[in-house]
Homo-oligomer: A and B are copies of this chain.
């Protein structure tokens, strides 16, 4: 039941947002009363914490990890795996899109979660770009931290356009071009 509640909350937070969905909505989706749901989760914040934790499962992160000394192809593969997962689970992509946007308010219960998640992602990607630049795989003229911020920005921003207009926006081709072409060093073919 705990897993079913997390699934129901994931779906509702993705479509209606954390703020738009009520604790009672999640209970109703499970065919139970709000009082019944409190047996598993005391309140909506506890549901949100469980949803976010589920999204960050170590197994999920490990599957899509960048190898220690990445080539440009390794970074591209990493990014394309993330996109493939989002295309397979558009509900989770929408959840991320809506919750991260809501969480820009300092008072949102997931504000620290998203702020820290992006800090960590920028760090990991900065390290990966640093090594890839040293290997001659990524253009050296731009600081690795800037590249990390841009790549995360491209992922979120192109995904937003894709979620709004999946027929018109080829998310995979667009992001692939960014990593494998725009980030290639000048001398590469």
Contact = CB atoms under 8 A, between A and B. Distances in A.
A164 B106 CA distance: 8
A104 B177 contact: no
Interface residues of A, number: 50
A152 B146 contact: no
Interface in A111-159: 111, 114-115, 118-119, 122, 139, 141-142, 146, 149-150, 152-159
Interface string A153-189: 1111111110111001100011001100111001000
Nearest to A113: B164
Interface of A: 15-17, 19-20, 94, 97-98, 100-105, 107, 111, 114-115, 118-119, 122, 139, 141-142, 146, 149-150, 152-161, 163-165, 168-169, 173-174, 177-178, 181-183, 186
